[in-house]
Amino acid sequence: MSYINRIVIHCAATTNGRRLANARETAAAVIDRWHKDRGFRRSTPFVNEFSPGLRHIGYHFVIDTNGTVEKGRAIGETGAHAKGYNTGSIGICLVGTDKFTQAQWEALALLYADLVEKYPRAVVCGHRDLSPDLNGDGKITSNEWTKICPGFDVDSWETQLLSPRDEWICEEHL
């Protein structure tokens, strides 16, 4: 187990509003399969004790378009979601790319509130905010992003009291 100093919000880079899950497979199971194909692998002690069906998933939480929150890795288990920032972090993945359903926003706000209460010193950011500061000005700007993930400005979302902007919301399409 490690000290939690960062909570990183991601997107799955999938069609906005479209569920990954089907009757046989959850969104976390789909992402687990993708991560297996990329060579990710969880440590045996953690897999045996927490989410044993997800042997490769890099995220700690996955939020599907219907608002379902699935647990992937255990809190404190080193993730595989933000290269160079996996130790001591929690990875949250929203299904979609840059617009999310109202159910996802509500689930994210609840999860956020729970995690910041438990880990008040943790910095909350988007994956894109971990891009290199190429010009050294102390700010990561859009021209420096290596990814758009999670497709919205986490700082703005926090400043707006966890309310998404209209342009960040989409309808769920089953």
Q: Is 35 a known active-site residue?
A: no
Catalytic residue among 93, 99, 127, 170, which? Answer: 127
139 as an active site residue: the answer is no
Would you state the structure tokens that stand for residue 72, as one six-digit string?
């992937």
Catalytic one of 93, 147, 170, 173? 147
- As given in the structure block, the two tokens for residue 46 are 């953690």
Closest to 97 measured CA to CA, from 5, 13, 41: 13
Burial class (CB in 10 A: 0-12, 13-18, 19+), 76: middle
The residue from 10, 35, 81, 99 that is catalytic is: 10
Element (H, E) at 73: none
Instruction: Provide the 10 A C-beta neighbour count for residue 43.
Output: 11
Active site residue 59: yes
- The token duo for 39 is 């060579």
Which of 56, 59, 99, 119 is catalytic? The answer is: 59
Q: Catalytic pick from 11, 125, 149, 170?
A: 149
How many CA atoms, within 13 angstroms, populate the side-chain half-sphere of residue 71?
Answer: 11
Catalytic residues: 10, 59, 127, 147, 149
